[in-house]
């Protein structure tokens, strides 16, 4: 299991045709996330929490500085390589669900890792049971409720067994039972040496999980142990 290090990372969104000003989100951000820990990230709307998650998954590239997974600079790693280490459940999970059926959604990543289709289907069915999604196994993924989509995205990511699990505001649309299930999975991952970063507005979550808090505010990041 590998640490993820941000070293003097700068990032800004370029301007668009309508909105010409570029938006600086991070400048000189230095931070190391150590495996075996849970981090809860919070901060005001628009401060860059989701941007941080996208940088950590390689979906965005820093303008300056570098991000390391272990000793490897992410800029030299392909998305599939990064995906072996970091799995993300996005704030709007409908954006990451690409298959028609939930079972195929879970199997998709496994098949692309080289697992045989039959075996992948069996793993996917077990994951559907695990996440209490069997009842909606035949419902098109885009017709699921947001909470169901979060659980499906979580199952799809978890079967790939990444070192790091990133949940971007994923808990806010889960009911109590589903939330407990997801947090159990996070705890299990951490017990096995992995790490988790949970983006949440909840002030209580870090205390509930005994997690390290990362507070992002415009212009700075602080870490509270």
Partner 1 sequence: MSVLVLSGIKFAYSGSNRKVLDGVDLSIEKGEAVLISGPSGGGKTTLCLVAATIIPTRVQGDFSGMAELMGQGTRKLGPSGASEYVGYVMQEPEFSMIMPTVEDEIAFGLENRGREPAEVAVAVEGVMTRLGMEGLAGRDPRRLSSGEKQLVAMASAVVHKPQLVILDEALSGLDDDKRALALAELDAMRQGGAALLIAEHAGTGRQAPFLSARRYVLQDGRLAEEVSG
Are 98 and 110 in contact by the 8 Å Cβ rule? The answer is no
- Please tell me whether residue 222 binds partner 1 under the rule CB under 8 A: no
Interacting residue with partner 1 among 71, 76, 78, 175 (CB under 8 A): 175
Contacts of 13 (CB under 8 A, 6+ apart): 22, 23, 25, 51
Q: How far is the CB of 49 from partner 1 (least distance, A)?
A: 8
Contact flag: residue 53 with partner 1 (CB under 8 A): no
Exactly one of 61, 117, 188, 201 binds partner 1 (CB under 8 A); which one? 201
Q: Which of 54, 85, 151, 185 binds partner 1 (CB under 8 A)?
A: 151
- Rounded Cα distance between 46 and 138, Å, is 37
208 binds partner 1 (CB under 8 A): no
| Among the residue ranges 1-9, 99-107, 109-117, 175-183, the one whose residues contact partner 1 (CB under 8 A) | 175-183
| Binding residue for partner 1, selected from 3, 12, 104, 147, defined by CB under 8 A | 147
Query: Looking at 2, 9, 40, 43, which residue binds partner 1 (CB under 8 A)?
Result: 43
100 contacts partner 1 (rule: CB under 8 A): no
Kindly determine how many residues on this chain lie close enough to bind partner 1 according to the rule CB under 8 A: 37
Contact flag: residue 24 with partner 1 (CB under 8 A): no
For partner 1, the binding residue among 85, 169, 189, 198 (CB under 8 A) is 169
**Sole binder of partner 1 in the list 148, 154, 163, 164 (CB under 8 A):** 148
Return residues touching partner 1 (CB under 8 A). 13, 16, 18-19, 21, 23, 42-47, 49-50, 91-92, 94, 136, 139, 143-148, 150-151, 169, 172-178, 201, 203
């Amino acid at each position: 299991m590998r640490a993820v290090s941000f070293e003097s990372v700068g990032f800004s969104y370029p301007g668009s045709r309508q909105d010409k000003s570029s938006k600086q989100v991070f400048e000189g951000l230095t931070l190391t996330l150590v495996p075996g820990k849970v981090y809860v990230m919070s901060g005001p709307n628009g401060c860059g929490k989701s941007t941080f998650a996208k940088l950590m998954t390689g979906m965005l590239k820093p303008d300056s500085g570098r991000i390391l997974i272990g000793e490897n600079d992410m800029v030299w790693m392909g998305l599939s390589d990064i995906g072996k280490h970091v799995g993300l459940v996005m704030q709007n999970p409908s954006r990451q669900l690409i298959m028609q059926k939930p079972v195929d959604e879970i199997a998709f990543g496994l098949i692309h890792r080289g697992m045989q289709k039959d075996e992948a289907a069996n793993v996917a069915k077990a994951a559907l049971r695990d996440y209490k999604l069997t009842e909606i196994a035949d419902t098109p993924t885009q017709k699921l409720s947001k909470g169901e989509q979060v659980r499906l995205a979580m199952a799809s990511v978890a079967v790939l067994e990444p070192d790091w699990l990133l949940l971007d505001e994923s808990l806010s649309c889960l009911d109590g039972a589903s939330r407990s299930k997801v947090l159990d999975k996070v705890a299990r991952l951490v017990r096995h040496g992995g790490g988790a970063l949970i983006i949440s507005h909840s002030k209580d979550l870090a205390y509930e999980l005994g997690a390290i808090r990362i507070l992002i505010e415009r212009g700075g990041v602080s870490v509270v142990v």
